[in-house]
C-alpha cells in the first residue's frame, strides 16, 4: 500500500532553536498533505493543510509564523517549528491522500528542552 515516510522519528532540541520535520509520499503524488499534533494520551488535532505550490491553510488557533509549512513538490511537505519552546513538545503526524484513503506517517516525537 501507499507509504508516507516521516523524518525524523524523534528529535530533541534546545529551547529557542528551530526544527524541521519532513513528510514524504513514497510511491504516490500528494498535492495535499495534512499536519496533525497529538499530545500524550490525547486525540489528533489538525494543525494545517499543506498545498503543493501554494500557501498552507492553518486551523484556527495555530500560529502560522511559528509552524512554517512548505510543500515544494508533489512528494514532500515540511513542517518547521520555529523558536521552539517546551510547550511545543508533542507528537507531530502528517497524512496524505492516496488511492484508497488517507495514509498517516509514523510521526515525529519532538521534545524541546
Partner 1 sequence: QQQVKQSPQSLIVQKGGISIINCAYENTAFDYFPWYQQFPGKGPALLIAIRPDVSEKKEGRFTISFNKSAKQFSLHIMDSQPGDSATYFCAASIWTNAGKSTFGDGTTLTVKP
Interface residues toward partner 1, by CB under 8 A: 4, 6, 32-34, 41-46, 49, 93, 95-97, 101-107, 109
In the complex, the smallest distance separating the C-beta of residue 101 from partner 1, rounded to whole angstroms, is 5
CB atoms within 10 A of CB 24: 19
Phi, psi angle pair for 10, to nearest 5°: -140, 140
In the complex, the smallest distance separating the C-beta of residue 3 from partner 1, rounded to whole angstroms, is 11
Name which of 11 and 82 has its Cβ closer to partner 1. Answer: 11
In the complex, the smallest distance separating the C-beta of residue 34 from partner 1, rounded to whole angstroms, is 4
As a whole number of angstroms, the distance between CA 88 and CA 96 comes to 23
Name which of 17 and 108 has its Cβ closer to partner 1. Answer: 108
Name which of 61 and 101 has its Cβ closer to partner 1. Answer: 101
Residues 6 or more apart whose CB falls under 8 angstroms from that of 55 comprise none
Name which of 43 and 86 has its Cβ closer to partner 1. Answer: 43
**On the CB side of 105, how many CA atoms lie within 13 Å of its CA?**
33
As a whole number of angstroms, the distance between CA 113 and CA 35 comes to 23
Amino acid at each position: 500500500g501507499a507509504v508516507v515516510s516521516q523524518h525524523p522519528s524523534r528529535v530533541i532540541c534546545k529551547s529557542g532553536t528551530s526544527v524541521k520535520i519532513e513528510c514524504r509520499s513514497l510511491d504516490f503524488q500528494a498535492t495535499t498533505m495534512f499536519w496533525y499534533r497529538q499530545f500524550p494520551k490525547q486525540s489528533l488535532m489538525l494543525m494545517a493543510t499543506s498545498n503543493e505550490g501554494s500557501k498552507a491553510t492553518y486551523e484556527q488557533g495555530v500560529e502560522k509564523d511559528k509552524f512554517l509549512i512548505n510543500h515544494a513538490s508533489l512528494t514532500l511537505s515540511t513542517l518547521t517549528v520555529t523558536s521552539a519552546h517546551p510547550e511545543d513538545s508533542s507528537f507531530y503526524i502528517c497524512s496524505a491522500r492516496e488511492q484508497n484513503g488517507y495514509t498517516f506517517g509514523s510521526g515525529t516525537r519532538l521534545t524541546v528542552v
